[in-house]
Amino acid sequence: MNHIKLKKVSLKNHSQYNERWLHDVIGEDPSILGIGDVVVKDRERVHVGAGRLDLLLQDADGYGRYEVEIQLGPTDESHIIRTIEYWDIERRRYPQYDHTAVIVAEDITSRFLNVIGLFNGFIPIMALQVSAIETTDGVGLHFTKVLDTVRLGLLDEDEETAELTDRNYWESIRGTGKTVKLADSMLDIAREFAPSAEQSYNKYYIGFWVEGKACNFAICRPQKNALRLEIRLPKETEYDQIISQSGLDVLDYDKRWGNYKFRLSLEDIEKHRDTIKNLMLRAYNLRK
């Protein structure tokens, strides 16, 4: 097989493939950014006194919104300021959504990463570097995520200081005897790949301990009529496909903690046991 050397082109200096062209390509298919299943909510959204937001994207099945600012060539200070300003305006105007600032540029410098890295964790910022590759059929685009939003610490990092409860608390106050037994089913599944797994009863969730240490690859929240299971996995296409094909009752993805959330009945657990085990095992392997 012959090696073909790719020809990278600069969009900033190109007469045809310019910023307007890039806007149109992303607007027609925002999935090429690689940030999930998103749709275009608005383009060149006017912010009085602050300019125009290039793109406003929204999760197709959730409450996540992305304020996207596009710049050809290398990033600069004004690019950071505009992106954060647009993000701040949108989050104040629509606080019911989970907002993320997204910077797209051809060249994201190390100095730029150092600067926005100071904000990340306080302001959710994502940086995507776009490369344009010329072919005989036109120009192809490749987006590389060079900076992702910082997730909050793991639940088990505060496990020792969490407010501990017991089984009776969950059976009588938060859930019922039946829904706590559904959490027992999750323990049975976990023990198939982690034989030493035990339950940990906390005020807000039932977690897992493995080999004497907190290991919350998944947590259970028994409710009055069902069990809410949260599995800690990054939101990726592979997991989305597994879940979408399973028939499970899926709730909105929790980007704050990085959890897939499910609402389960006894019938759901019996019917989808293999899928639940598959996802829990993947989450466990990522935590080991």
- Rounded CA separation 205/230 (Å): 10
pLDDT of residue 241: 92
pLDDT > 50? residue 128: yes
Residue 210 contacts by C-beta under 8 Å, 6 or more apart in sequence?
A: 194, 196, 197, 198, 284
Q: Cβ distance 250 to 272 under 8 Å?
A: no
pLDDT of residue 162: 54
pLDDT > 50? residue 69: yes
DSSP code string of 28-87: H-GGGGSSSSEEEEEEEEEETTTEEEEEEEEETTSSEEEEEEEEEEE--HHHHHHHHHHH
- Rounded CA separation 226/263 (Å): 7
- Give the residue among 151, 121, 126, 113 at the shortest CA–CA distance from 34: 126
Q: Highest-confidence range of 6-15, 153-162, 239-248, by mean pLDDT?
A: 239-248
pLDDT of residue 152: 47
Q: Highest-confidence range of 119-133, 143-157, 162-176, 237-251, by mean pLDDT?
A: 237-251
Structural domains in the chain plus CATH codes: 7-147 (3.40.1350.10), 155-287 (3.90.1150.20)
Q: Kindly report, residue by residue over 133-154, the tens digit of the pLDDT.
A: 887 777 888 888 887 765 544 4
When pLDDT is averaged across residues 25-42 and rounded to a whole number, the result is 88
More confident residue, 77 or 213: 213
Counting other chains too, the contacts that 232-240 makes at CB distance below 8 Å and 24 or more residues apart are 232/154, 232/257, 232/258, 232/259, 232/283, 232/286, 232/287, 233/258, 233/259, 233/260, 233/279, 233/282, 233/283, 233/286, 234/258, 235/36, 235/260, 239/279, 239/282, 240/37
Q: Cβ distance 63 to 252 under 8 Å?
A: yes
pLDDT of residue 172: 92
pLDDT of residue 269: 96
When pLDDT is averaged across residues 237-263 and rounded to a whole number, the result is 89
pLDDT > 70? residue 157: no
Q: Kindly report, residue by residue over 102-114, the tens digit of the pLDDT.
A: 999 888 877 777 7
When pLDDT is averaged across residues 155-160 and rounded to a whole number, the result is 47
Q: Cβ distance 275 to 250 under 8 Å?
A: no
Q: Which whole-number Å values give the CA distances from 7 to 15, 55, 101, 132, 151, in the listed order?
A: 17, 28, 30, 8, 36
Q: What is the mean pLDDT of the chain?
A: 85
In this prediction, residue 126 has a pLDDT band, given cuts at 50, 70 and 90, of confident
pLDDT > 90? residue 221: yes
- Give the residue among 73, 76, 132, 128 at the shortest CA–CA distance from 100: 128
